[in-house]
Structure 1
């Protein structure tokens, strides 16, 4: 009996995994295919990008401030506080900036994607589109993917910039002048770090969009099911982002 249960769980898991990657591949394959649904893309970019800007800026500001504060405390006994700018930049641009921005967008935008698509599923709007011959992936999923792929790098850059500003605000109280703060950036950062800081949000945006669309399009159970699907999408996206961040970092380290 236990073997049968395990077998069913494994079959269900790998079937879901196959469906997930099949949806993701279909979304990527349709990015440059017509019709492009430009208006839907603009609407989704506004919902997922501009609407998430404030929370990303707020997160980046206080993250940069707390990073600078901790760095100053650790460096002050060694009279090395001039390196605080480089430490904040290296930490935020390569790791915390992309991850924190993605987690904020996953919580706000990813859940919105799932709830919106899930509501369309349970109210049979998606079935009506299929009856009319509409490509559901092209019409509903791909515009959200394109909006997320454009929004995530921009939000990450904004998060990184405001975190550096927050780091300087905290450092100024310890006698660090702007020239000293900025000069530390080049001592800790190389060009590959900037590339890493932009590649990660692209990949994380892909995860958020595909996960939100997959969970949303497979929603069952009415209004209660929509709420459960939104929660599932946020948890799944957040865990996947953290796991994939480790492997992406390992790949960049291997090519140094």
Structure 2
């Protein structure tokens, strides 16, 4: 009877042990990521690495401008179309500018901009650092007495903090233009009423909230992408070029999920 009880208890505890082990591993990984972020923030470059930071501002920000503008334009157009036919049911199509402006500034602008930059620049960030890791370039930096985090990661985080709010503001402006094309040009709303509603409804608190989200997303994307690339060599599921590809995929997926999670958390504090 005691043997039967011990076997039963063992089968009951096995899934619990597995869940507990997985939870502890995730907590340890989170702590490692936070230490990685803290060390990278401590090495935010000054004047000596200004040119290196500007290089990443170009690669992360300037080269992502076109895709951000394109997505912003069609997001504004689709959002204007959907909101118009929803508001018509209540006879409130005149407030299209308010609804579209608040939706873009508060939510869609920061979130979609961050996701587009993740797809465009975050994946490249992971791949570049991952290749430097597997080709032992990072080990060479250690040998030369250069801090790899300060040289490789810190400029990317600084560049992300600079570019994310700017591209978010650009996304919002182009989104307003897309809503204008749909609401005023195609559906015949009054242009003065459209822009008046945008101006009247959006406050500095809304703009500041969108900027705060953009900065939080910048930290998330730059840290997650750099972390996955930096520790590519420690992956247990693959190695070499395949490991770089898996790290890039993981970085994009994790960044996108964390953007949505952080959006909810930040929104709950701002409201």
Q: TM-score, normalised by structure 1?
A: 0.94
Change (3 A) 1:36 1:236: farther
Tell me which residue corresponds to 1:133.
145
Change (3 A) 1:11 1:79: closer
Tell me which residue corresponds to 2:247.
229
Tell me which residue corresponds to 1:80.
92
Displacement after TM superposition at 1:76 (Å): 1.9
Counterparts of 2:22 and 2:91, CA distance in 1 = 58
Tell me which residue corresponds to 2:6.
none
Counterparts of 2:191 and 2:251, CA distance in 1 = 42
Tell me which residue corresponds to 1:99.
111
Tell me which residue corresponds to 1:207.
220
Displacement after TM superposition at 1:27 (Å): 1.6
Counterparts of 1:129 and 1:4, CA distance in 2 = 41
Q: Secondary structure at the match of 2:232?
A: coil
Tell me which residue corresponds to 2:163.
151
Q: Secondary structure at the match of 1:78?
A: coil
With 155-164 and 184-193 compared, the bigger mean Cα shift is at 184-193
Query: Residue 123 of structure 1: which of 135, 139, 145 is its match?
Result: 135
Determine whether 1:60 maps to 2:50.
Answer: no
Tell me which residue corresponds to 1:246.
264
Counterparts of 1:127 and 1:12, CA distance in 2 = 26
Tell me which residue corresponds to 2:182.
170
Counterparts of 1:156 and 1:239, CA distance in 2 = 18
Equivalenced residues, count: 252
Trace 1:175-214 onto structure 2 (pairs within 5 A).
175-214=188-227
Mind listing any 5+ residue stretches in structure 1 that lack a counterpart? none
Q: Deviations over 1:23-65 (max 9, x none)?
A: 111122222x557422221211111101111111111101101
Change (3 A) 1:34 1:93: closer
Displacement after TM superposition at 1:77 (Å): 3.4
Counterparts of 1:217 and 1:96, CA distance in 2 = 30
Counterparts of 1:30 and 1:13, CA distance in 2 = 26
Displacement after TM superposition at 1:80 (Å): 1.9
Counterparts of 2:230 and 2:90, CA distance in 1 = 56
Counterparts of 1:117 and 1:97, CA distance in 2 = 28
CA RMSD of aligned residues (A): 1.5
Change (3 A) 1:133 1:224: same
Tell me which residue corresponds to 2:83.
71
Counterparts of 2:120 and 2:111, CA distance in 1 = 14
Tell me which residue corresponds to 2:25.
12
